[in-house]
Amino acid sequence: MGRLRTTDRKMPAGSPCPCGSGRAYGDCCGPFLEGAAVPQTAEQLMRSRYTAHVQGDGDWLLATWHPATRRARIDLADQVRWIGLEVLATQGGGPGDSKGTVEFVARYKRGGRAHRLHERSRFERRNGGWLYVDGDLEPVANANQDLVPETRGDDPSGSSG
């Protein structure tokens, strides 16, 4: 218990896709990670890269990284456990676009603490496929806190305008 590691990359095609799309892995990110299909939208690529993080698939992360910004190698932190993805907005990135932006929140746990990564990622189409270029981290509203509570309406300071 608590020592589960995703060492086996092969996920059953029928299991829910880690990217949270609500679709089956074999009908979502699976074909991309296994090289059977190419993502048609920036969001599909972004989701597949999240799933690659979940599965520890550094090869896919490098293969879909723009050469201009790609790192030489990827350290997939063992102690990080990705627990959820939510795509907030997309701009461009469709089958007829050459560029796109995907804004998302990815949640992960490290050392028993929950964190959230809010990023706006830029993607570019190249040779018919999408590549990750770079991204801007969204500033957390309350910089003093690692984790912003999700429950609101219980503000003791009663700040009013």
Q: How far is the CB of 23 from Zn ion (least distance, A)?
A: 7
Nearer to Zn ion, 47 or 122 (CB): 47
Instruction: Give min distance, CB of 28 to Zn ion, in A.
Output: 3
Nearest-approach distance from CB 41 to Zn ion, in angstroms: 12
Closest to Zn ion by CB, 17 vs 45, is: 17
Q: Give dist(CA 3, CA 1) in Å, integer.
A: 5
Q: Is 148 exposed, middle or buried (0-12, 13-18, 19+ CB in 10 A)?
A: exposed
Question: CB neighbours of 112 closer than 8 A, spacing ≥ 6?
Answer: none
Give the nearer residue to Zn ion in terms of CB position, either 35 or 142. Answer: 35
H-helix segments, the chain: 30-33, 42-55, 58-63
| Interface positions with Zn ion (CB under 5 A) | 17, 19, 21, 28-29, 47
